[in-house]
Each structure stands twice: as structure tokens, then as C-alpha cells.
Amino acid sequence: MSEYIQKSRNVTFLLYHLVFPAKYRRAVFDPHIDEVLKEVCLAIADRYQVKFLEIGTDKDHIHFLVQSVPSYSVTKLVTLVKGLTAQEIFKRCPQVKKQL
């Protein structure tokens, strides 16, 4: 698994399994969108205190295994990941927005 996240006064090991379905469960994910998604997630991991341990896609949904610090609530983490990934995918792959 992953290593512990060490801060100045605590050590954490919080893992979240997040599943995000596409709108109306439409099959919009292909290998190109997988690559864009992984690039975006690496950028999020560099910018925020989040580690993406696993990223998996099916044709109509995405699975994330995310390690985070306790200062981020689950709601904030989901909002952060969904918002930034959707924004970048729509910008880089405009055909996805047309399919939805």
C-alpha cells in the first residue's frame, strides 16, 4: 500500500475509494481520455496534499483510490477532484461535452 503522510505533529493514513459515474451513465471514457485524466490527477496531486494510489476507468465510470490528510473533508476532496478533472477533460477533449 502507501506510505504514511507525515506532518509536523501527526501521521495519517486515510484512504478513500471514490467512484464517479458519467452523466446518465453514458460510455464516454476511452484510452485518450484515460491519459488526460491521469495527467490531470498528477497535477492535482502536486498542487494539493492528495495522493492518487489507483485510477481506474470503465466505459461509464471512474474509480479513484485516494490518500489525503485529515484537513480535507470527504466533501471537499470529492468537490476538488470532480471539479478539476471535469473542467480539464472538457477543455482538452471537447467531444466529451457533446456526448453528454
Q: Where are the beta strands (DSSP E) in 1-100?
A: 5-6, 11-12, 14-21, 50-57, 61-68
Report pLDDT digits (tens) over 49-77: 899 999 999 988 999 999 988 888 999 99
Instruction: Kindly state the average pLDDT of the residues 72-83.
Output: 93
Domains and CATH numbers, the chain: 5-99 (3.30.70.1290)
pLDDT for 2:
54
Say if CB 69 and CB 30 are below 8 A apart: no
Confidence bin at 1 (pLDDT 50/70/90):
low
For residue 66, what pLDDT is reported? Answer: 94
pLDDT of residue 99: 83
* Interval 4-63: pLDDT, tens: 877 778 888 889 999 999 888 888 888 999 999 999 999 999 999 899 999 999 988 999
